[in-house]
Amino acid sequence: MICPHCEKNLLRKERPNNTCSHCRRTYALDPKTNSLGLSDLRVRRILAKVTEEGRIAVTPDQLWYALSRKRLKESRFAPGCASASLGAGLFAGVFALFSGITYLLLISGALLLASAGFAFARAAGVSRGFPVMSRAAFRSEALAPWRNVYGGLPPGVVDDTPPVPSRAGARTPSDARPGAVLLCPDRSITAFLIADGLPTRYGIAPAKDLDAVRALPTQGPVIVLHDADAHGELLVRRVRDSLGQRTVIDAGLPLRTVRGLAQAVPYRDRDSRPDRETMTRLTALGEFTEEELKWLGKGWRFPLVGMPPARLLAAVTRIAEQVTRNVDPERRRAASVGFMTWPGPTAQDRAGER
């Protein structure tokens, strides 16, 4: 690896205890000691992409996805076993032919069958989509060492534990009545939008669940932001059923659309697989194909943290602009003459690795 301080190329023996033997300075991440193969330079390189060279802030979970997306595409079922079984099987078979030892042919056949099984499982995508480092583990295995060495999170990454300061000016006064509500169960995405100033700019109150929505002093529209997964597909319907005649806007990732995007990389979480009741409710809706239900039932999802941050911010900005323009008469009059028109960014998809 290359030292992030002096840029010397270091062999494993030249960097004991994460310390460069040339400049004697300590670094945070060694690619040989973490499951994502992370180094300080790689983290900085990917951060430059997802933050648009520092133009926007991102959260730890968005950085986790950008660093994980390449591995999420790969199947890691029994790595090396197929080639090892194939080599051992061929060797045993050849040796049996020349030595005349019959039982070695049986062993050779078993090894070759095992090799074929491993190869088929990998081709079928067994274990594909399961992160080698979970979102929670990323904080302890990658960000904690970074904090220890550099004294804080990587530049451009904001802490998503509340309260989150806005980079775009002061917060809306606590006694101000919000014009709308942004309901998002993913606190990392809520923190991202707050850090980049969207709720303050449009007078929108963030909420993490329905109880928080009901507690807010407004009957304005509710914008629901969610992942494209089994639970997300039911969230908007549950919110509409609970809030009666109140306007509810589905701003989540559309499952059918995002599944058709080549650059969108889904993942699976063993701890968040939908239960039978959830799948029964989804099936009863009659809105999903059999293949889509099977996909959702296996726990696959397209998370909001996987959407390129600049595009996510631009999409939510457009929705917030439209909603608050319709709610606020003063804003609507100003927009009609062009004073309050908010141009949506046209950032390219630069999130993560290709």
CATH number at residue 199: 3.40.50
112 and 42 in a common domain: no
pLDDT, average across residues 145-167: 84
For the stretch 157-179, pLDDT in tens is 999 986 555 555 444 445 568 88
201 and 302 in a common domain: yes
Q: How far is CA 348 from the centre of its chain?
A: 18
pLDDT band at 317 (very low <50, low <70, confident <90, very high): very high
So what's the pLDDT on residue 175?
Answer: 52
Sheet containing 204-207, strands listed edge to edge, beginning at the edge strand earlier in sequence: 204-207, 180-183, 222-224, 248-250
> Is the separation of the CB atoms in 296 and 282 below 8 Å?
yes
One domain, residues 144 and 276: no
Q: Same structural domain for residues 108 and 231?
A: no
Question: pTM surpassing 0.75?
Answer: yes
Residue 213 Cα distances to 181, 193, 222, 229, 253, angstroms: 7, 17, 8, 22, 21
Pair 330, 266 in one domain? yes
pLDDT above 60 (res 219): yes
With respect to residue 349, please indicate whether it lies within any of the assigned structural domains: no
Report the pLDDT value the prediction gives residue 92, as an integer from 0 to 100. 57
Higher pLDDT, 339 or 349: 349
Domain extent, residue 256, equals 180-336
Q: How many beta carbons lie within 10 A of that of residue 343, not counting itself?
A: 9
Reported as a pLDDT band with limits 50, 70 and 90, residue 233 is very high
**41 and 107 housed in the same domain:** no
Instruction: Read off the DSSP letter of residue 311.
Output: H
Are residue 111 and residue 235 in the same domain, yes or no?
Answer: no
Tell me: pLDDT of 350 over 70.
no
Number of domains in the chain: 3
Q: pLDDT tens-digit profile of 20-50?
A: 999 999 999 999 999 999 999 999 999 999 9
> Is residue 293 in a domain?
yes
The answer to whether the Cα torsion of 98, 100, 101, 106 is positive or negative is positive
**Three-class SS of residue 222?**
strand
Average pLDDT of 86-100? 61
Domain for residue 342, yes or no? no
Same structural domain for residues 96 and 68?
no
